[in-house]
Amino acid sequence: MAAIRTSTRQRVRQNLTAHGFLLGALLCFGYFSWYPMVREVVMSFQKTKRGRTTWVGLDNLDRIVQDPAFWQAWRNTLLFTVLALLLGFAVPFVVAVLLNELRHAKAYLRVLVYLPVMMPPVASVLLFKYFYDPGHGLFNHLLAGLGLPTLAWLNSSTTAMFSVVLAATWMTMGGATLIYLAALQNIPGELYEAAELDGAGLLRRIWHVTVPQTRLILSLLLLLQIVATMQVFVEPFLLTGGNGPEGSTTTVVYLIYQYAFNFDNYGSASALGLVMLLVLAGFSGLYVRLSRSAD
């Protein structure tokens, strides 16, 4: 009897110690992740006017859907995501394949590609803002030097989003490049040898060995990039002040920011956040399933 009692007491004590170790993290998760998550959902169905909070059901959702900015923000965000993926997904892959073939200057080139990722975003973004200046900016000077027509860059609704994507790609492509590079280094050399013996040329070796061997990491990164790029905020916020010419760079997260902090409308901001969450949850879920199958 006595033995059992001490072991129970011991187990209680062990549990208390363990929860003591967990306490700090639990409080932080509770305050800054779990509670805000619940509050996000609750606030989507509430409205606060002059300090009084009332339930309004789907009114918030109804209101944001009727706001023309809602559809424009989604269109812009999708455009940004598609452009950012065309550039930010394909370019790093090509660069990684190229770097993997080089026998010299590899360390130097790797450092170069990753350097912009480490820069404070304000430095990269303002730098591009100066480059884009239609009057004395470097880019128009280069275009003119090559005999090409100059562009209005951030000042025109047709080129503004493209300019944002270009800056964003420069800032972030290093991460994807290094991850691809690591994946390429894991491809067994015998596969290339066998393909070569079968008479496969360079392009066919890329298509039949490189791509299938890196397919999993490619699809994982694609999903991550979709989730990350759809949350774009800093680049348009700093480059065009957020909305850009004729609202051409208003993104969904910027619209959330505007609802909440410019118009004090937390209900609409939360409702839009919830829509965003549901859209991105699909991609996140797919990511989790894929990465489980990878283990």
Partner 1 sequence: MRTLISDTQLNRPGGRRAYRIVLVLVVLVFTLVFLGPLYWLVTGGLKSTREVIQNPPTLFPHQLHPATYREAWSQLRIGRLLFNTLYYAFGALALQLVFDVAAAYALSKLRPVLGNLILGMMLATLMIPAAVLIVPQYLTVLDLPLLHVNLVNTPWAIWLPTVANAFNIFLLKRFFDSIPEELMAAAAIDGASPLRALWSIVLPMSRPILGVVSIFAVVNVWKDFLWPLLVQPDPRNQPLNIGINSLSLGVSQNVVIAALAIASAPTVVFFLIFQRNIMAGLTSGGLKG
Figure out which of the listed residues 7, 14, 53, 157 binds partner 1, where binding follows CB under 8 A. Answer: 14
**How many residues at the interface with partner 1, by CB under 8 A?**
105
Nearest residue to 167 via CA among 61, 228, 226, 238:
238
Write down the least CB distance from residue 263 to partner 1, Å. 12
By CB under 8 A, tell whether 123 contacts partner 1: yes
Q: Which 44-103 positions form the footprint of partner 1 (CB under 8 A)?
A: 97-103
What contacts 159, CB < 8 A, 6 or more positions away? 151, 152, 153
Figure out which of the listed residues 7, 22, 158, 211 binds partner 1, where binding follows CB under 8 A. Answer: 22
Write down the least CB distance from residue 9 to partner 1, Å. 15
Figure out which of the listed residues 189, 199, 264, 293 binds partner 1, where binding follows CB under 8 A. Answer: 189
By CB under 8 A, tell whether 288 contacts partner 1: yes
Cβ proximity to partner 1: between 154 and 227 the closer is 227
Cβ proximity to partner 1: between 161 and 195 the closer is 195
Residues linked to residue 49 through DSSP beta bridges, in sequence order: 52
Q: Which 143-172 positions form the footprint of partner 1 (CB under 8 A)?
A: 170
By CB under 8 A, tell whether 109 contacts partner 1: yes
Write down the least CB distance from residue 3 to partner 1, Å. 18
Specify the length of the chain in residues.
295
- Burial grade of 19 (CB within 10 A; 0-12, 13-18, 19 or more): exposed
Figure out which of the listed residues 43, 64, 73, 160 binds partner 1, where binding follows CB under 8 A. Answer: 43
Write down the least CB distance from residue 45 to partner 1, Å. 13
